[in-house]
Protein backbone atom coordinates (compact mmCIF):
# COMPACT_ATOMS: atom_id res chain seq x y z
CA UNK A 1 0.00 0.00 0.00
CA UNK A 2 1.56 3.31 -1.10
CA UNK A 3 -1.18 5.39 0.52
CA UNK A 4 -1.68 7.57 -2.54
CA UNK A 5 -5.07 9.10 -3.40
CA UNK A 6 -5.83 11.25 -6.45
CA UNK A 7 -8.68 13.74 -6.41
CA UNK A 8 -9.91 15.10 -9.75
CA UNK A 9 -11.54 18.51 -9.40
CA UNK A 10 -10.16 21.05 -6.95
CA UNK A 11 -13.49 22.77 -6.47
CA UNK A 12 -15.68 22.88 -3.39
CA UNK A 13 -16.08 19.12 -2.98
CA UNK A 14 -12.56 18.19 -4.13
CA UNK A 15 -10.96 20.80 -1.86
CA UNK A 16 -13.01 19.70 1.14
CA UNK A 17 -12.23 16.02 0.45
CA UNK A 18 -8.50 16.78 0.20
CA UNK A 19 -8.52 18.69 3.46
CA UNK A 20 -10.43 15.91 5.27
CA UNK A 21 -8.14 13.19 3.88
CA UNK A 22 -5.19 15.00 5.39
CA UNK A 23 -6.89 15.79 8.72
CA UNK A 24 -8.00 12.18 9.11
CA UNK A 25 -4.55 10.91 8.02
CA UNK A 26 -6.24 8.53 5.62
CA UNK A 27 -3.38 8.56 3.13
CA UNK A 28 0.28 9.43 2.74
CA UNK A 29 -0.13 11.59 -0.32
CA UNK A 30 -2.98 13.40 -2.06
CA UNK A 31 -2.62 14.38 -5.70
CA UNK A 32 -5.07 17.10 -6.67
CA UNK A 33 -5.88 17.67 -10.35
CA UNK A 34 -7.92 20.43 -11.96
CA UNK A 35 -8.15 21.79 -15.47
CA UNK A 36 -8.36 25.43 -14.36
CA UNK A 37 -4.78 26.68 -14.29
CA UNK A 38 -3.55 27.40 -10.77
CA UNK A 39 -6.64 26.06 -8.98
CA UNK A 40 -5.27 22.73 -7.74
CA UNK A 41 -1.92 24.37 -7.00
CA UNK A 42 -3.66 27.11 -5.00
CA UNK A 43 -5.73 24.69 -2.89
CA UNK A 44 -2.70 22.46 -2.28
CA UNK A 45 -0.57 25.43 -1.23
CA UNK A 46 -3.32 26.77 1.05
CA UNK A 47 -3.53 23.39 2.80
CA UNK A 48 0.25 23.08 3.05
CA UNK A 49 0.54 26.57 4.54
CA UNK A 50 -1.76 25.50 7.36
CA UNK A 51 0.51 22.61 8.31
CA UNK A 52 2.70 24.57 10.79
CA UNK A 53 -0.45 25.66 12.65
CA UNK A 54 -2.26 22.34 12.46
CA UNK A 55 0.92 20.35 13.06
CA UNK A 56 -0.03 18.07 10.21
CA UNK A 57 2.50 17.11 7.59
CA UNK A 58 0.49 16.69 4.44
CA UNK A 59 2.03 15.71 1.18
CA UNK A 60 -0.28 17.36 -1.25
CA UNK A 61 0.74 17.94 -4.82
CA UNK A 62 -1.15 19.11 -7.82
CA UNK A 63 -1.00 19.72 -11.50
CA UNK A 64 -1.86 18.42 -14.91
CA UNK A 65 1.08 16.00 -14.96
CA UNK A 66 -0.55 12.76 -13.90
CA UNK A 67 2.81 11.07 -13.39
CA UNK A 68 2.48 12.18 -9.75
CA UNK A 69 -0.69 10.17 -9.44
CA UNK A 70 0.75 6.92 -10.82
CA UNK A 71 -0.48 3.83 -8.97
CA UNK A 72 -2.94 5.69 -6.78
CA UNK A 73 -4.93 3.32 -4.60
CA UNK A 74 -8.05 5.45 -4.70
CA UNK A 75 -9.20 7.98 -7.29
CA UNK A 76 -12.01 10.38 -6.39
CA UNK A 77 -13.78 12.11 -9.29
CA UNK A 78 -15.34 15.43 -8.33
CA UNK A 79 -14.55 17.20 -11.60
CA UNK A 80 -17.54 18.70 -13.29
CA UNK A 81 -19.98 21.51 -13.49
CA UNK A 82 -22.45 22.06 -10.63
CA UNK A 83 -26.15 22.69 -10.59
CA UNK A 84 -27.19 26.31 -10.55
CA UNK A 85 -30.53 27.38 -9.11
CA UNK A 86 -33.44 25.96 -11.10
CA UNK A 87 -31.18 23.46 -12.86
CA UNK A 88 -31.78 19.73 -12.41
CA UNK A 89 -29.08 17.09 -12.21
CA UNK A 90 -30.21 15.98 -15.67
CA UNK A 91 -29.21 19.32 -17.15
CA UNK A 92 -25.66 18.48 -16.21
CA UNK A 93 -25.78 15.14 -17.97
CA UNK A 94 -23.95 15.78 -21.22
CA UNK A 95 -21.46 18.34 -19.88
CA UNK A 96 -20.34 16.12 -17.04
CA UNK A 97 -20.32 12.90 -19.06
CA UNK A 98 -17.60 14.40 -21.26
CA UNK A 99 -15.64 15.61 -18.22
CA UNK A 100 -15.87 12.31 -16.33
CA UNK A 101 -14.98 10.32 -19.45
CA UNK A 102 -11.89 12.46 -19.96
CA UNK A 103 -10.76 12.29 -16.31
CA UNK A 104 -11.28 8.55 -15.85
CA UNK A 105 -9.66 7.63 -19.18
CA UNK A 106 -6.58 9.58 -18.12
CA UNK A 107 -6.60 8.31 -14.54
CA UNK A 108 -7.01 4.66 -15.51
CA UNK A 109 -3.84 4.80 -17.62
CA UNK A 110 -1.82 5.73 -14.55
CA UNK A 111 -3.83 3.91 -11.87
CA UNK A 112 -5.50 0.90 -13.50
CA UNK A 113 -5.94 -0.95 -10.20
CA UNK A 114 -7.30 1.94 -8.14
CA UNK A 115 -10.72 2.00 -6.47
CA UNK A 116 -12.78 4.78 -8.09
CA UNK A 117 -15.24 6.87 -6.10
CA UNK A 118 -17.44 9.01 -8.35
CA UNK A 119 -19.08 12.17 -7.02
CA UNK A 120 -19.90 14.19 -10.17
CA UNK A 121 -23.60 14.47 -11.07
CA UNK A 122 -25.87 13.04 -12.30
CA UNK A 123 -24.22 10.52 -10.05
CA UNK A 124 -25.61 7.18 -11.21
CA UNK A 125 -24.95 7.88 -14.87
CA UNK A 126 -21.47 9.26 -14.18
CA UNK A 127 -20.53 5.98 -12.44
CA UNK A 128 -21.52 4.13 -15.61
CA UNK A 129 -19.53 6.53 -17.80
CA UNK A 130 -16.52 6.09 -15.49
CA UNK A 131 -16.68 2.29 -15.49
CA UNK A 132 -16.83 2.21 -19.29
CA UNK A 133 -14.20 4.90 -19.86
CA UNK A 134 -11.70 3.25 -17.53
CA UNK A 135 -12.72 -0.31 -18.46
CA UNK A 136 -12.98 -0.97 -14.74
CA UNK A 137 -14.44 -4.03 -13.06
CA UNK A 138 -17.65 -3.31 -11.18
CA UNK A 139 -16.00 -4.06 -7.85
CA UNK A 140 -13.71 -1.05 -8.27
CA UNK A 141 -16.13 1.70 -9.13
CA UNK A 142 -18.85 3.10 -6.96
CA UNK A 143 -20.69 6.35 -6.47
CA UNK A 144 -21.17 8.53 -3.43
CA UNK A 145 -24.78 9.53 -2.87
CA UNK A 146 -26.62 7.15 -0.55
CA UNK A 147 -24.47 8.04 2.44
CA UNK A 148 -25.17 11.74 1.88
CA UNK A 149 -28.90 11.24 1.30
CA UNK A 150 -29.15 8.94 4.35
CA UNK A 151 -27.17 11.40 6.45
CA UNK A 152 -29.58 14.20 5.54
CA UNK A 153 -32.54 11.97 6.43
CA UNK A 154 -30.85 10.98 9.71
CA UNK A 155 -30.27 14.62 10.60
CA UNK A 156 -33.90 15.58 9.93
CA UNK A 157 -35.13 12.57 11.94
CA UNK A 158 -32.89 13.40 14.88
CA UNK A 159 -34.13 17.03 14.93
CA UNK A 160 -37.77 15.98 14.70
CA UNK A 161 -37.49 13.37 17.46
CA UNK A 162 -35.08 15.45 19.53
CA UNK A 163 -32.58 12.60 19.88
CA UNK A 164 -28.86 12.34 19.27
CA UNK A 165 -27.82 11.86 15.65
CA UNK A 166 -25.75 8.96 16.99
CA UNK A 167 -28.99 7.03 17.65
CA UNK A 168 -30.31 7.38 14.12
CA UNK A 169 -29.70 5.02 11.19
CA UNK A 170 -31.32 5.49 7.81
CA UNK A 171 -31.48 3.65 4.53
CA UNK A 172 -31.82 5.47 1.21
CA UNK A 173 -31.64 3.54 -2.05
CA UNK A 174 -32.10 4.18 -5.76
CA UNK A 175 -31.17 7.19 -7.81
CA UNK A 176 -29.40 10.24 -6.38
CA UNK A 177 -32.10 12.72 -7.29
CA UNK A 178 -35.82 13.25 -7.20
CA UNK A 179 -36.42 9.49 -7.58
CA UNK A 180 -34.33 8.41 -4.60
CA UNK A 181 -35.96 5.74 -2.44
CA UNK A 182 -35.76 6.35 1.32
CA UNK A 183 -36.79 3.20 3.19
CA UNK A 184 -38.35 4.17 6.56
CA UNK A 185 -38.84 0.50 7.55
CA UNK A 186 -35.07 0.11 7.66
CA UNK A 187 -34.50 3.50 9.28
CA UNK A 188 -34.26 3.32 13.04
CA UNK A 189 -33.70 5.23 16.26
CA UNK A 190 -31.80 3.07 18.75
CA UNK A 191 -33.06 0.05 16.82
CA UNK A 192 -36.73 1.17 16.78
CA UNK A 193 -38.13 1.63 13.25
CA UNK A 194 -39.00 5.30 12.69
CA UNK A 195 -42.39 4.16 11.40
CA UNK A 196 -43.26 3.44 15.05
CA UNK A 197 -42.06 6.82 16.27
CA UNK A 198 -43.91 9.35 14.12
CA UNK A 199 -46.97 9.76 11.97
CA UNK A 200 -46.94 8.83 8.29
CA UNK A 201 -47.58 12.51 7.44
CA UNK A 202 -44.52 13.70 9.38
CA UNK A 203 -42.38 10.95 7.88
CA UNK A 204 -43.50 11.92 4.37
CA UNK A 205 -42.60 15.53 5.14
CA UNK A 206 -39.05 14.52 6.18
CA UNK A 207 -38.68 12.24 3.16
CA UNK A 208 -39.71 15.11 0.88
CA UNK A 209 -37.13 17.36 2.53
CA UNK A 210 -34.48 14.65 2.08
CA UNK A 211 -35.32 14.34 -1.62
CA UNK A 212 -35.03 18.10 -1.91
CA UNK A 213 -31.88 18.20 0.27
CA UNK A 214 -29.42 19.16 -2.47
CA UNK A 215 -31.76 21.78 -3.95
CA UNK A 216 -32.44 23.29 -0.50
CA UNK A 217 -28.72 23.99 -0.10
CA UNK A 218 -28.49 25.45 -3.60
CA UNK A 219 -31.43 27.78 -2.87
CA UNK A 220 -29.63 29.01 0.25
CA UNK A 221 -26.07 29.43 -0.96
CA UNK A 222 -26.43 29.35 -4.77
CA UNK A 223 -23.99 26.53 -5.16
CA UNK A 224 -24.09 22.87 -4.39
CA UNK A 225 -23.30 21.31 -1.01
CA UNK A 226 -19.74 20.29 -0.19
CA UNK A 227 -19.14 19.70 3.54
CA UNK A 228 -21.60 16.82 3.88
CA UNK A 229 -20.66 15.33 0.48
CA UNK A 230 -16.96 15.43 1.50
CA UNK A 231 -17.76 13.67 4.79
CA UNK A 232 -19.58 10.95 2.88
CA UNK A 233 -16.60 10.43 0.56
CA UNK A 234 -14.29 10.22 3.57
CA UNK A 235 -16.45 7.47 5.09
CA UNK A 236 -16.07 5.47 1.88
CA UNK A 237 -12.31 6.04 1.70
CA UNK A 238 -11.93 4.96 5.34
CA UNK A 239 -13.95 1.79 4.69
CA UNK A 240 -11.58 0.83 1.85
CA UNK A 241 -8.23 1.92 3.29
CA UNK A 242 -8.97 0.32 6.67
CA UNK A 243 -10.69 -2.73 5.15
CA UNK A 244 -13.68 -2.08 7.39
CA UNK A 245 -16.11 -4.26 5.46
CA UNK A 246 -18.69 -1.65 6.25
CA UNK A 247 -22.23 -1.78 4.90
CA UNK A 248 -22.99 1.57 3.31
CA UNK A 249 -25.56 2.78 0.79
CA UNK A 250 -23.57 3.44 -2.39
CA UNK A 251 -24.21 3.37 -6.12
CA UNK A 252 -23.15 -0.06 -7.38
CA UNK A 253 -23.41 -1.69 -10.80
CA UNK A 254 -26.24 -4.21 -10.68
CA UNK A 255 -26.28 -7.33 -12.80
CA UNK A 256 -29.60 -8.83 -11.76
CA UNK A 257 -29.70 -7.87 -8.08
CA UNK A 258 -33.12 -6.47 -7.14
CA UNK A 259 -34.25 -7.50 -10.65
CA UNK A 260 -32.15 -4.70 -12.17
CA UNK A 261 -29.51 -5.27 -14.82
CA UNK A 262 -26.96 -2.89 -16.30
CA UNK A 263 -27.18 0.25 -14.17
CA UNK A 264 -25.55 1.85 -11.14
CA UNK A 265 -28.23 2.08 -8.47
CA UNK A 266 -27.97 3.02 -4.80
CA UNK A 267 -28.03 -0.17 -2.71
CA UNK A 268 -26.40 -1.34 0.52
CA UNK A 269 -22.90 -2.59 -0.31
CA UNK A 270 -20.03 -3.98 1.73
CA UNK A 271 -16.95 -1.77 1.24
CA UNK A 272 -13.51 -3.10 2.11
CA UNK A 273 -9.97 -3.41 0.79
CA UNK A 274 -11.29 -5.19 -2.31
CA UNK A 275 -13.71 -2.39 -3.09
CA UNK A 276 -17.35 -3.35 -3.50
CA UNK A 277 -17.05 -6.76 -1.83
CA UNK A 278 -20.74 -7.57 -1.72
CA UNK A 279 -24.08 -6.16 -2.78
CA UNK A 280 -26.63 -6.76 -0.04
CA UNK A 281 -30.09 -7.71 -1.23
CA UNK A 282 -32.51 -6.68 1.48
CA UNK A 283 -36.16 -7.62 1.42
CA UNK A 284 -38.37 -4.89 -0.02
CA UNK A 285 -42.14 -4.53 -0.03
CA UNK A 286 -43.89 -4.44 -3.40
CA UNK A 287 -44.20 -0.66 -3.14
CA UNK A 288 -40.51 -0.15 -2.25
CA UNK A 289 -39.42 -2.45 -5.06
CA UNK A 290 -41.64 -0.59 -7.53
CA UNK A 291 -40.02 2.68 -6.49
CA UNK A 292 -36.54 1.17 -6.92
CA UNK A 293 -37.40 -0.13 -10.40
CA UNK A 294 -38.77 3.31 -11.33
CA UNK A 295 -35.53 4.87 -10.12
CA UNK A 296 -33.46 2.40 -12.19
CA UNK A 297 -35.69 3.11 -15.20
CA UNK A 298 -34.89 6.81 -14.94
CA UNK A 299 -31.15 6.07 -14.80
CA UNK A 300 -31.43 3.90 -17.92
CA UNK A 301 -33.30 6.66 -19.74
CA UNK A 302 -30.48 9.07 -18.90
CA UNK A 303 -27.92 6.54 -20.11
CA UNK A 304 -29.76 6.26 -23.42
CA UNK A 305 -29.72 10.07 -23.77
CA UNK A 306 -25.93 10.04 -23.87
CA UNK A 307 -25.68 6.88 -25.93
CA UNK A 308 -24.35 4.62 -23.16
CA UNK A 309 -25.57 1.05 -23.44
CA UNK A 310 -26.64 -0.77 -20.27
P1 LIG B 1 -16.92 23.06 -8.31
O2 LIG B 1 -17.40 23.83 -9.49
O3 LIG B 1 -16.62 23.78 -7.06
O4 LIG B 1 -15.62 22.21 -8.73
C5 LIG B 1 -15.56 21.43 -9.88
C6 LIG B 1 -14.12 21.49 -10.35
O7 LIG B 1 -13.95 20.56 -11.43
C8 LIG B 1 -13.70 22.87 -10.87
O9 LIG B 1 -12.56 23.31 -10.13
C10 LIG B 1 -13.36 22.63 -12.34
O11 LIG B 1 -12.29 23.45 -12.80
C12 LIG B 1 -12.99 21.15 -12.29
N13 LIG B 1 -13.02 20.50 -13.59
C14 LIG B 1 -13.95 20.61 -14.56
N15 LIG B 1 -13.60 19.85 -15.62
C16 LIG B 1 -12.42 19.25 -15.30
C17 LIG B 1 -11.57 18.34 -15.98
N18 LIG B 1 -11.86 17.91 -17.22
N19 LIG B 1 -10.44 17.93 -15.34
C20 LIG B 1 -10.14 18.37 -14.10
N21 LIG B 1 -10.92 19.23 -13.40
C22 LIG B 1 -12.04 19.66 -14.00
O23 LIG B 1 -18.01 21.91 -8.04
P24 LIG B 1 -18.23 21.07 -6.70
O25 LIG B 1 -19.20 21.77 -5.82
O26 LIG B 1 -16.92 20.66 -6.17
O27 LIG B 1 -19.02 19.79 -7.31
C28 LIG B 1 -18.35 18.90 -8.18
C29 LIG B 1 -19.31 17.87 -8.77
O30 LIG B 1 -19.83 17.06 -7.72
C31 LIG B 1 -20.54 18.45 -9.47
O32 LIG B 1 -20.87 17.67 -10.59
C33 LIG B 1 -21.64 18.34 -8.42
O34 LIG B 1 -22.94 18.33 -8.99
C35 LIG B 1 -21.26 17.03 -7.80
N36 LIG B 1 -21.78 16.79 -6.46
C37 LIG B 1 -22.25 15.54 -6.20
C38 LIG B 1 -22.73 15.23 -4.94
C39 LIG B 1 -23.22 13.83 -4.67
O40 LIG B 1 -23.93 13.61 -3.70
N41 LIG B 1 -22.85 12.84 -5.47
C42 LIG B 1 -22.74 16.20 -3.94
C43 LIG B 1 -22.22 17.47 -4.21
C44 LIG B 1 -21.73 17.76 -5.50
Distance 24 CA to ligand 1 centre (A): 22
When the candidates are 3.20.20.70, 3.40.50.20, 3.40.50.300, 3.90.110.10, the CATH number that belongs to 146-305 is 3.90.110.10
Q: Which residues are catalytic, by number?
A: 176
Flag whether pLDDT at 310 surpasses 80: no
Mean pLDDT for 188-205 is 97
pLDDT beyond 90 at 184: yes
Q: Determine the residue of 11, 66, 235, 249 to mutate for testing ligand 1's pocket, defined as the one with the most ligand atoms within 8 A of the Cβ atom.
A: 11
List, for residues 35-80, the tens digit of each pLDDT value.
Answer: 999 999 999 999 999 988 887 777 777 766 789 899 999 999 999 9
Which residue spans of the chain are classified as CATH 3.40.50.720? 4-144
CATH code: domain 4-144 is: 3.40.50.720
Report residues whose beta carbon is within 6 angstroms of any ligand 1 atom: 8-14, 33-36, 39, 78-80, 82-83, 96, 99, 102-103, 119-121, 123, 144-145, 148, 176, 224-226, 229
* Residue 1 scores a pLDDT above 90: no
- CATH 3.90.110.10 range(s) for the chain read 146-305
Per-position b or e across 154-180, b if 16+ CB within 10 A of its CB: bbbbbebbeeeeeebbbbbbbbbbebb
pLDDT interval class at 309 (50, 70, 90): confident
Q: Residue whose CA is closest, atom 13 of ligand 1?
A: 79
- What is the Cα–Cα distance from 256 to 135, expressed in whole angstroms? 20
What secondary structure letter does DSSP report for 75?
E
- The 10s digit of each residue's pLDDT in 220-272 is 999 999 999 999 999 999 999 999 999 999 999 999 999 999 999 999 999 99
Q: Max alpha carbon distance in the chain (Å)?
A: 57
Q: How far is CA 121 from the centre of its chain?
A: 9
Nearest Cα residue to atom 20 of ligand 1:
34
Amino acid sequence: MNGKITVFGAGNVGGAVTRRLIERKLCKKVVLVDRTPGKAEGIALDILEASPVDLLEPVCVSGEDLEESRNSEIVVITAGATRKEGMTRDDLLRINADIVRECVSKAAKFSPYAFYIIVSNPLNVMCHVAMRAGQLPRTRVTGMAGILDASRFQYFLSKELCVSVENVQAMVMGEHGEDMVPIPRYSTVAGIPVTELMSREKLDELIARTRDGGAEIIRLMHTSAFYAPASAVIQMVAAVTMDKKKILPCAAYLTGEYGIDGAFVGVPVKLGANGVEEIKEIELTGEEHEALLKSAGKIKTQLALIGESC
